Every structure is written in structure tokens, then in C-alpha cells.
Amino acid sequence: MERIIAVVFDNEKKAYEGTAALRQVEQDGDIVIYGGAVVTKHADGTATVKQFDDFGGIGGLAGTALGSLIGLLGGPVGLVAGAATGFAVGAIADIGYYDDARVGEDYVADLFKSLTPNKVAVVAEVDEEWTTPLDTRMEALGGTVYRRAMWEVRDIADEKEIAAMKADLAQLKAEQAKVNAERKAKVQQKIEQLQAKIDAQQKKAQARKAAFEARQQSKSEVLKSNAKAAGKALKQFANTPV
């Protein structure tokens, strides 16, 4: 099962021991790691993010579910692979990344409360069939593990949103046929604005789906290269809808 995991530690030393333990769990064949980062919360309210590996050549964190989760925890994400970036922590309610992170608001809220100043979190996007191997290693290091299964691409939500806008557009066009010339011009302006929004939303939905499918393909290659984990994870991956 594809999951986002976050392990909160008291300091960076323990967090980096946690990243080593995470890799060991993968070598043992119990998980597949698609990407990860260490997020350090500072006393002044800022956070530093460092991508600790680029697993399988999938690429940087920006634009991924994991990158979006980091954005929710620490502010807008603008990462360069392998580089540390500081940024001010904003209110998570002001950042609309929940859908892109593919986890619920309650999960993010729990992490936000746990990742207090001077705490450090190891976050990763993984494929995991059972929780004991990872939890055992992280608990031994003093880490608190948070995990959540990731929901799939927002096809249905996108379709509903576009359908709702198209319904508004149809109503505006019907209204335009009944009003006087002066009003027609104002309604036409609204029609053009709404049509532009529909076009933009359709492009966004197409790009989101294309990015999702491309990343799923990259994940498939990671699974194929991971002999120990491939047998159990590929079966789960094959049933993932796009």
C-alpha cells in the first residue's frame, strides 16, 4: 500500500539515524521508498528541508505528494534536489495542498502539532505491506511514527468541479438570451471569464493526471529494481487505478 510516513525525532542526529534505518528496512525488502526528506523545525518558527535521497531517479520533491505535505508542514515548497532550503512556516489553512498531498487534514494537523520547535521529522513516500518492521526500528531510536494511506488522483473531484462550472456557464448563456442589450454585454463578460476558468481547470486536471501517470511509471521501475520488495509490492501497484 502506498503511504506517506513521517517520523518525528527530538534532534537531527536521531533523524539521520532514522534515515539510515529507513534504508535498511528497504534493503530487508519490507518497504519500497520513492522519496524522502528531513524537515527541521527551528526555534524561530522557520523550517529547513533537505532531500535525503533521490530514490530510483524519480526526481525532486517539488510537485509530488511528499513535497505538498512538506509545504503544509512548513510553508510553500521550492526545493532543489539535495539542497537545504529555509522558509517561514505559514498557517496550514492558507495553503491549498491537501489534495496534492493526498492525505487528510487531520493527518497534517497531527504532524503540525508534533513537529514543534527544535524537533525534526523524517518524511517519506513509501510502499509498505506491514507496519511492524519500520515501527520497531523507529521506536528503538525514539521516533514517533505517523502514517497515512495515500488516496488516488483526483479525477472524480476534477470532473465534478468542471461540471459545476459548465452548469454555471450554461445558465449564464441562457440568461444572456433574455436580457436587454446593455445587460448582454455584462453577462458576456462573465461568460468569457468563466470559460477561461474552465479552460484553465481542464488544463490543470490533464496536467495533474499526466504527472500522476508518469510518476506511477517511475514507481513501477523502482519496484522492478528492488528484487526483495517487488514480489509483494508489484501486485499492489498493478491494481492502482489511474
Report DSSP letters for 162-215, one per residue.
HHHHHHHHHHHHHHHTTS-HHHHHHHHHHHHHHHHHHHHHHHHHHHHHHHHHHH
pLDDT averaged over every residue in the chain: 74
Residue 57 gets which letter from DSSP?
G
Of 107, 33, 31, 30, the residue nearest 68 (C-alpha):
107
The predicted pLDDT at position 148 comes to 80
The predicted pLDDT at position 137 comes to 95
Q: Are 48 and 40 in contact (CB under 8 A)?
A: yes
Give me the phi and psi of 96, to 5 degrees please: -90, 55
Q: Which of 106-110, 199-203, 221-225 has the highest mean pLDDT?
A: 199-203
Reply yes or no on whether the pLDDT at 204 is more than 90: no
Tens digit of each residue's pLDDT (9 = 90 or more) over 23-68: 999 988 888 888 888 988 888 777 788 766 554 443 455 556 777 7
The predicted pLDDT at position 100 comes to 59
Least confident range of 60-64, 161-165, 178-182, 228-232: 228-232
**Greater pLDDT, 79 or 153:** 153
Tens digit of each residue's pLDDT (9 = 90 or more) over 56-107: 443 455 556 777 777 777 644 333 333 333 333 333 333 344 555 666 677 7
The predicted pLDDT at position 49 comes to 82
The predicted pLDDT at position 99 comes to 55
Tens digit of each residue's pLDDT (9 = 90 or more) over 122-137: 999 888 888 889 999 9
Per-residue pLDDT band at 18 (split at 50, 70, 90): very high
Whether the model pTM is above 0.75? no
Q: Is residue 150 exposed (0-12), middle (13-18) or buried (19+ Cβ within 10 Å)?
A: middle
Q: Are 36 and 52 in contact (CB under 8 A)?
A: yes
Q: What are the angstrom distances between the C-alpha of 175 and each of 166, 188, 208? A: 14, 10, 33
